[in-house]
Amino acid sequence: MHSKMSLQIHCGIMPHLPKSNLAPAEDRLDLSAPIPGAIDELPPSQRGEDISESNILLANPEALPLRDLSAIVRRGGSTHRHRVVIVAPHPDDETLGCGGAISLLCNNYDVRVLVISDGTLSHPNSQKYPAPILQSIREGETLTALAILGVKPEAITFLRLKDGSVPTLTSVNFIKAKIRCQDYLKAALPDTIFIPWRFDPHADHRATWQLIQAAILSLGIAPQTIEYPIWDWDTQQQQQRTDLVEISGWRLDIATVLDRKCQAIAAYRSQLGQLIDDDPSGFCLTAELLVNFKRPWEVYFEKIL
């Protein structure tokens, strides 16, 4: 997650949602549709740079359709176990945003997790926990959290890009990072991939979306792509935009695994203010903030193709 801004529950009035947001996914999505051309040829509205629709979709999340796993994981080869990759910008985003989905998916699918950044900016002023130690602690927390959710250590990969500096499309090291993501995805070959919401207020989250999307395009693969919000729950960080792309939103019912998700979140002690005591300005997941991730459902977005 990694941000020092406080998170608030969005209690806005339910806006009118276009019918496309409420239709069954199978009616909305053309799964055979090709992915658009090279990412740098896309207009800004499709690059995750300038616009946000999640503030509308999250205005009243309980109005979004509630689905079970079978309704959202629709792709998969008949010759192999359905492969799912969860991509997290920081160690903890996968659990906060997708912990319920991960736990449910692990029952029947091949689940792997890719953590993009090293997470070392959460407590930059700590003397007791300088970056190399903090990185090790946070990765250990990820292993613990994901073990609770059912993911084996060998299915977890840490890319260890610098926290706070995940390359964007305009960064000089974007291609290098993209190739690393490309190599990972070439081996993982996901049927379904969970990535951060393209318009998340946090730059690392948007950059992660850009990296993975570019890697997918370069490989010429077309996994079902599901996006999850993290910082859009914070009304202070949401940006009001009018130039919207068509995004559908739904909730995944995780009631049966909510206790497990909460246990996994609790594994992130360094992010809960329970470990590092010498950096008062360091990041801390507050109770107010956590309530968004401890509901019996998770919100996901998907582009209407």
Binding residues (CB under 5 A) for Zn ion: these are: 1-2, 89-90, 93
Distance CA 107, CA 286 (A): 31
Nearest distance in Å: CB 227, Zn ion: 14
Nearest distance in Å: CB 208, Zn ion: 9
Nearest residue to Zn ion, using CB?
A: 90
Written as six digits, the tokens of 22 are 């409420």
The closest of 102, 83, 84 to 267, measured between CA atoms, is 102
Nearest distance in Å: CB 299, Zn ion: 16
The closest of 163, 292, 145 to 228, measured between CA atoms, is 292
Which sign, positive or negative, has the C-alpha torsion 257, 68, 63, 9?
A: positive
The closest of 146, 155, 149 to 257, measured between CA atoms, is 149
Residue whose pair of structure tokens reads 């010498």 in the numeric block? 278
Nearer to Zn ion, 93 or 234 (CB): 93
Nearer to Zn ion, 2 or 198 (CB): 2
Nearer to Zn ion, 61 or 119 (CB): 119
Nearest distance in Å: CB 88, Zn ion: 7
Nearest distance in Å: CB 90, Zn ion: 4
Nearest distance in Å: CB 201, Zn ion: 10
Written as six digits, the tokens of 170 are 């305009």
Nearer to Zn ion, 1 or 143 (CB): 1
Other CB atoms within a 10 A radius of the CB of residue 258 amount to 18
Nearer to Zn ion, 163 or 253 (CB): 163
Burial class (CB in 10 A: 0-12, 13-18, 19+), 207: buried
Kindly state the DSSP code that residue 16 receives in the 8-state scheme.
P
